[in-house]
Structure 1
Amino acid sequence: MMRGIVKAIAVLIVAALGLLVFVPKASSPQPAVPQQDPVINLTLYFSTPDASALRQEKRQVLQTNEPARVAVEELLAGAKTEGAVTIIPAGTKLKGFAVRQGVAYVDLSEDILNTPNRGSASESLIVASIVNTVTEFAGIDQVQILIEGKEVETLYGHMDLSEPFRRF
């Protein structure tokens, strides 16, 4: 009889151990991983400090359906890295943005015209910074700059703005 009891206890122990192997362990709570908002990388073009060339500035922004529009808004907000200089006059705003048949139409406020005594180099850098920033995006080959919704002949009397520009 004692053997029977020992056998029964042994069977119960083996069965209990078997249950421990197959019963899922209660998982300890995992620390919540903060959900990252998706971002996109932009390449913006600003002037060098000596106004002799353009300098790239990389920037990350939240993903959007209109990355080229956001790039222009970031360009107008100004440079954030050392060695990059904002060349577009302060206060200039983006009034509208559209892309049709590979041409981006960038409509700027007349504030861009409110800086007297701009030379041809300055005008070239402003136009090139806008055009190069916008043509970073697939499907945009040219940029037409508008002021207050209208085509203008020039910003400061040096460059013909009546036709769209290709990348500089």
Structure 2
Amino acid sequence: MNQLRAVLAALLVIGLLITAGCGTGQENSQSEQQNNQITANGLADTKSKSSASGQQLKKVKLIIYFPNENGEKLLAADRTVNLVGTDKYSAAVNELLQGPKKGEGTNVIPKNTQLLNTGIDNAGIVTVNFNNAFVKNFTGGSTGELMLIGSIVDTLTNFQEVKAVRFYVEGKPLDALSGHMDLTAPVTRIKNIL
């Protein structure tokens, strides 16, 4: 009877060891799988962030236009910008807002003008929405208005998909800047000032 108990106890211990060993193997295997999944997810997240960062940091070459010193025509200026948290249309307009570098013409953007947002519809019409300073601080006449509107429109219509530009101020359509140009309809490229 003692031998039977010893054999049963030995079998029980062996069974427990086998069960414990298998359980540990499974736990290790499951743990490794979870770690692999976590690593795989971590890599996917990193690649995703990297990819998203890559898109945000994508360099884009732009041609923007500033009026010449006499206000007779627009001069082309090359820019390379990083698209950091913005689209290429906003980047182009923001480059205009920063003004020309030496030899690139003169600044025609009204003081304290800020771009609030841009958008493009399926017809290729870009909407530019400025703060109130765009109208309030504009001091030019008919030529100044033509140069200002032309610099924005001709800069944006350099993008192949852009057909015209619609102007907004504080989210409301802009009908006219100082009464010389009709802005009720989207403005197409103004070729005669290039």
Q: TM-score, normalised by structure 1?
A: 0.73
Question: 2:126 aligned with 1:104, yes or no?
Answer: yes
Q: Quick one: distance in 1 between partners of 2:175 and 2:119?
A: 20
The alpha carbon displacement at 1:39 in A equals: 2.2
1:162 alignment partner in structure 2: 184
Q: Quick one: distance in 1 between partners of 2:107 and 2:140?
A: 14
Question: 2:126 aligned with 1:120, yes or no?
Answer: no
Contact 1:57 1:81 in 2 (8 A): no
The answer for unaligned runs of 5 or more in structure 1 is: 1-36
Contact 1:87 1:125 in 2 (8 A): yes
Q: Quick one: distance in 1 between partners of 2:113 and 2:59?
A: 26
Q: Which of 103, 106, 116 is 1:82 aligned to?
A: 103
Match runs of 1:18-167 below 5 Å: 38-63=58-83, 66-101=87-122, 102-115=124-137, 117-167=139-189
Decide whether aligned partners of structure 1 residues 70 and 42 sit closer, same or farther in structure 2, where only a CA change above 3 A counts.
Answer: same
Contact 1:49 1:83 in 2 (8 A): no
Give the stretch that moved more between structures: 78-87 or 92-101.
78-87
The answer for unaligned runs of 5 or more in structure 2 is: 1-56
The alpha carbon displacement at 1:127 in A equals: 0.5
1:27 alignment partner in structure 2: none
> Percent identity, aligned pairs only?
30
The alpha carbon displacement at 1:117 in A equals: 4.6
When the two structures are aligned, how many residues end up with a matched partner?
132
Q: TM-score, normalised by structure 2?
A: 0.64
Could you list the structure 1 runs, at least 4 aligned residues long, displaced by more than 3 angstroms after superposition. none
SS of the residue corresponding to residue 127 of structure 2 reads strand
Decide whether aligned partners of structure 1 residues 76 and 165 sit closer, same or farther in structure 2, where only a CA change above 3 A counts.
Answer: same
Q: Quick one: distance in 1 between partners of 2:65 and 2:107?
A: 9
Contact 2:115 2:129 in 1 (8 A): yes
The alpha carbon displacement at 1:83 in A equals: 4.0
The alpha carbon displacement at 1:63 in A equals: 4.3
SS of the residue corresponding to residue 49 of structure 1 reads coil
